[in-house]
Structure 1
Amino acid sequence: MDPILETHQLTKVYRNNRGIREISLQLHAGDVYGLLGPNGAGKTTFLKLITGLIRADQGKITLFTGDLIDQFEEGMQHVGCMIESADFHDFITAWQYLKLVGRFYPNITDQRITEVLEVVGLIQVRKDKIKNYSTGMKQKLALAAAILPNPKFVILDEPTNGLDIEGTVMFRRLIKQLSEEHGTTFLISSHMIHELEQLCNRVGIIVDGQLIQEGYVSDLLASGQSLEQFYIHELECRKGGKESA
């Protein structure tokens, strides 16, 4: 089976010498891949590269079997994303915002907008101005925009920031439903390590711009480790200059 996403030696280094270096990974249909790492490790830079928001210094990105640069518009029609903090035009409503987002994709109907607002729990406040939304409500709206086009691949950067317990449970159920029933692939960057342990089938750890370790969550749990223990162990090995076990 061809991967949904494949990066090869992907590198982007900024003037301050931060960024990412030679990251290679593959995601397949139905994967829920968690990206872990300290602040400033390069997670958001990686996500921006694979969505075309910034250009790589070197390396290759293949999305749905096509080169991202050569087939950008075709590939991104099947991708939903939420990168960094949600930012909106506060003077419009949630419904109007999703209507605007829908213009970037083919065949987004009013019915589909209603569906995603119901899924994320904003249908009752769809006519309220976004400026009156709480942080959690804005995060839900950003998630609604990400899943609006029924994407095959969804990229989420800190998606549970600001969500209350009910919102977090909604998010978890939605990800599982889309991945298990529809084969949707997810790449999720988050510091909520216990959420990733429940959601993801695979995880990768980025430290100092490098992908230092990958693993299957099921293997970790079967070995008696929690994802948190695995993550802390890998960071300590990195700081100590040791090879991980």
Structure 2
Amino acid sequence: MPQSSFKLKVLAGLLLAFAGSASATTYTNVPSGANANLPFAYFGNAANPSGDSPMVGQVFALTLDSLLSSFNFYAVGNTSATFQLNVAQWNPSTNAQNQAVNTVGSNLLPSTFTAVDTYNSTGNYTTISFDNLGLNLNANTKYIAYLTSSDSTVTGVQLSRTQTAQDVSGFGLGHAYLSTIPGQGWQLPFNGNGFLSLQYTAVTAVVPEPETYAMLFAGLALVGAAVKRRNAV
């Protein structure tokens, strides 16, 4: 086999192995598309209508160290509200799923991500999309992805949610909101039938193990050495 062909095959194999180790996984609790007829969670910065929360999000956890690349929420009807995404650790001191007063950590995203809103006239819902997040998340740690808005006039936005006894996607743990009642903190609603989750779609990729990086770098060094020997001939 010609040396150049061998080097190319080695390099291609290493790149394929590296790419395969970081393959994307999509988690969603609306696999057939958002359903605007399900219960709502109300987002709003203004003082009314009562029941609005200035921060509304989804608590989730992953079983493997992962890279979060995108997150979508869904709003009922056609909204052009300006949303920002925050991702923080849920109950950072205890990592508990729920307790009397829940807390969230600082925003982990390295920059400000503003949503792209896309209205679906057939389903009468707006997809609130955040892409290219590039956020590393740890396994067995609870996080919350939540919405805020820099527009103080935004109020009465109905975020679509669903009720499940167990999230079949293996991702979501429940819908949470920051109560405006002093002393209540973050609330994670629960009733006799299960947790209420926002409707969401999230895409992650498993973070490659250190051995995978080592194999890639060793392979590149091997190819580089072969090229150097060939040039020296």
TM-score w.r.t. length of structure 2: 0.24
More strand by share: 2
- Greater relative contact order (Cα < 8 A, sep 6+): 2
Tell me which structure has the larger Cα radius of gyration.
Answer: 2
